[in-house]
Amino acid sequence: MRKWPLATNEQYLQAIKSEMDRIGSIKYKDYMDHHDPFAAPSAYYIRKRFGTWSAMMRQINTSGKNTPQGSERIPLQSDDYDLFFYCIKREIERIGSTDADMYSKHRRKYHSPSMAYIEQHYGPWALVLKKLGYET
């Protein structure tokens, strides 16, 4: 018998985060194609526990905290890393520049969020860079 039916939500989310980190992607298809079923739950268990992939991602991103209102739309996070910011930071390091145009032009399309998505959900590029620890 597998451990996933008995695992807590925190255990699910931690295992999924670790597996996404290992795979290097937060995309559903990448996770399903490359996840280790002994290290992290399958699509069946994720659907059974959270309903959808998006609902599970919201659980990972909110970590039980509120999102501030107003122009600074970056959600408050617990001390562990935010997967979206991890992907953005990884791409910035790969590209070697924090320039928004360079990021848009050279990002790997299926491994990191688009500039439009980033600005829609997290606010201006300068705010995202500040959150990542870069000087603007």
* Cα–Cα distance measured from residue 26 to residue 86, given in angstroms and rounded to the nearest whole number: 10
Give residue-wise pLDDT tens across range 112-129.
788 888 887 778 999 889
Average pLDDT value for residue range 84-101: 87
Which pLDDT score, from 0 to 100, does residue 73 have? 37
| Higher-confidence position of 130 and 65 | 130
Per-residue pLDDT tens over the stretch 29-55:
888 888 888 888 988 888 889 888 888
Confidence at 2, pLDDT banded by 50, 70, 90: low
Q: Where are the domains of the chain?
A: 4-62, 83-132
> H helices of the chain, where?
9-23, 28-34, 43-50, 53-62, 83-95, 100-106, 115-122, 125-132
Locate 119 and state its tokens.
């600005």
CA 19 to CA 31: how far, in whole Å? 8
